Amino acid sequence: MHKTVKKGWVWLKRFRHRKGYGVHSPFAYDFITRVIYGKLSKAERRALQVSSKNRKESRKVMALLQKLEKEASSLVYVNQADPIYINNVYEEKAEKMGARDMMVIYGIYLNKDMKQVWQKLVVDDRSGITFDLYDVGIILFDKKITKQDYIVNF
């Protein structure tokens, strides 16, 4: 019950950050509306139902990952709530990531340590645009686009 109430409160606090409202960057707006809020085809939704039966992530997060896989040339997904592990993966992968590469981190608000790790990754010079979706954080590594952190009500 407590988790549901907290999730609802977070959704209400982030309500003005939905569907790209207030985003002035054409790239970020397109990414939010087309990828984050985009729809899957019927076949993709069917495949998602089969693959998400035994996963801890919600079906919504799994659908997002499926959409991101189509967009990125390389997608690194970290679903462990261990700040040390996340730092190690980031340090290992960040230098090798190109303009079309993405890193997705699950559970960026699970605890205080995860919040601190997320904030550290957002300000890191190797990361580009970041999207804070509360359940997951998305890091893009394209240096041509002005670095900014976007909050999206997902």
Q: Dump pLDDT digits (tens) for 96-128.
A: 888 889 999 988 888 899 889 989 998 988 888
Query: Over the chain, what is the mean pLDDT?
Result: 79
d(C-alpha 4, C-alpha 117), whole Å: 24
CB atoms within 10 A of CB 1: 5
What DSSP assignment string belongs to 63-125? HHHHHHHHH-SEEEEE----HHHHHHHHHHHHTT--TTEEEEEE-TTSSHHHHHHHHHHHH-T
Nearest to 104 by CA among 62, 56, 48: 62
Q: Dump pLDDT digits (tens) for 16-28.
A: 555 555 666 787 7
Of the pLDDT bands very low, low, confident and very high (cuts 50, 70, 90), residue 8 is: low
DSSP 141: -
Q: Are 103 and 76 in contact (CB under 8 A)?
A: yes
- pTM for this entry: 0.80
Domain borders along the chain are 2-151
Whether 12 has a pLDDT exceeding 60, the answer reads no
Kindly list the distances between the CA atom of residue 36 and the CA atoms of 81, 83, 116, 134, 143, in Å, as whole numbers in the listed order.
22, 25, 24, 13, 21
Q: Dump pLDDT digits (tens) for 47-96.
A: 776 665 556 567 778 888 888 888 888 888 988 888 899 889 999 988 88
pLDDT of residue 138: 92
pLDDT of residue 32: 81
pLDDT of residue 23: 65
pLDDT of residue 109: 83
pLDDT of residue 27: 79
